[in-house]
Amino acid sequence: MKEHSGSLDDGTKVDIWTVSNGGITLKVLSYGGIVQSLEVPDREGRTANVSLGFPSLADYVDRSPYFGALIGRYGNRIAGAAFTLDGASYALPTDGGPNSLHGGDQGFDKHVWAVEPFTSGTDTGLVLRRTSPDGEMGYPGTLEVEAVYTLTADGRWRIDYTATTDRPTVVNLTNHTYFNLAGAGTGPVQDHLVELAAARYTPVDATLIPTGELAPVAGTPYDFRQARAVGAQAVDHNFVLDSGITDEPAHAATVTEPTSGRVMAIATTEPGVQFYTGDHLDGRPHGPRDGFCLETQHFPDSPNQPSFPTTVLRPGETYRSATVHTFSTC
């Protein structure tokens, strides 16, 4: 179902799309590919929205901390807002301290996408497309991007990304949904139990850029190999998934909310996941730690760190990434 959500200052129309399947209802804005709400049942069959967001388009435009957004061209940070590719240097916007964050201040989350609904067998969902022109936010190459949000009959939300380019470039796409499995607006997530399939993480400097080390989580506050409560620990780190890059989504994380009984398992083809406990949310309307993010991704600053898995995409190649969220109850 499509409804008119509003218009941007330049008159561009923004729609909100609603799709349902397998007990899940997903509402998506054409602006930024934003997941405005994600309703899933608890152990008693009662549904609630488990994603943080705003009620109005204006809030997303004016002050959103990437609630539910489709992120690109490059999710996470690039050091010094610059990188070199094939001997050419590229300057990017500085929107994360001295660094470039989430594709720049006019990244994919700030553009209207073309949206088309689909049904395939027992699956239903939305196909989102846009063309990112050569030089947008400093990135080389015209990038043709597609993101497919699929709801399955057995309670899964799958995201498939593809992209092609006409010039060598770098690409790292992700989704920035903040989750609270007890329901949006119910308070902090410190009681959520989190398990990450990651024996290593990427330590960062004072500006949140990886040092290049892949450090063991053992003996650190970032050891989530066995499920444990989020607690008071602030986390905003990239975790190195044990599975590495895979052709099909492999297990990355499981989160359990004991009161509602909701469980969310995440599988991905990506080598990393950014676990963020939402400590910098400003309270309008959601405060610090009212939600968490698990952003499947390549590592931050990969264009400047040759030892990290490459994020370079060349003409004739196709960027592919897939992440599956499986909802259940315990």
Domains of the chain (ranges; CATH) run: 2-329 (2.70.98.10)
Q: Which residues are catalytic?
A: 176, 295
Q: What is the pLDDT of residues 43-69, one digit of tens each?
A: 999 999 999 999 999 999 998 999 999
Q: What is the pLDDT of residues 275-299, one digit of tens each?
A: 999 999 988 899 999 999 999 999 9
* Burial group, residue 330, by CB count within 10 angstroms (0-12, 13-18, 19+): exposed
Closest Cα to residue 173, out of 188, 182, 154, 160?
160
Closest Cα to residue 296, out of 327, 251, 328, 231?
251
CB atoms within 10 A of CB 310: 12
Average pLDDT over residues 144-162: 97
pTM over 0.85: yes
Q: Give the whole-angstrom CA distance, residue 58 versus residue 271.
A: 35
pLDDT at 3: 86
Query: How far apart are the two ends of the chain, measured CA to CA in Å?
Result: 31
Q: Give the whole-angstrom CA distance, residue 308 versus residue 171.
A: 14
pLDDT at 6 over 90: no
> What does each C-alpha distance from 295 to 67, 175, 182, 220 come to in angstroms?
12, 6, 19, 21
> What does each C-alpha distance from 174 to 97, 109, 177 come to in angstroms?
21, 11, 9
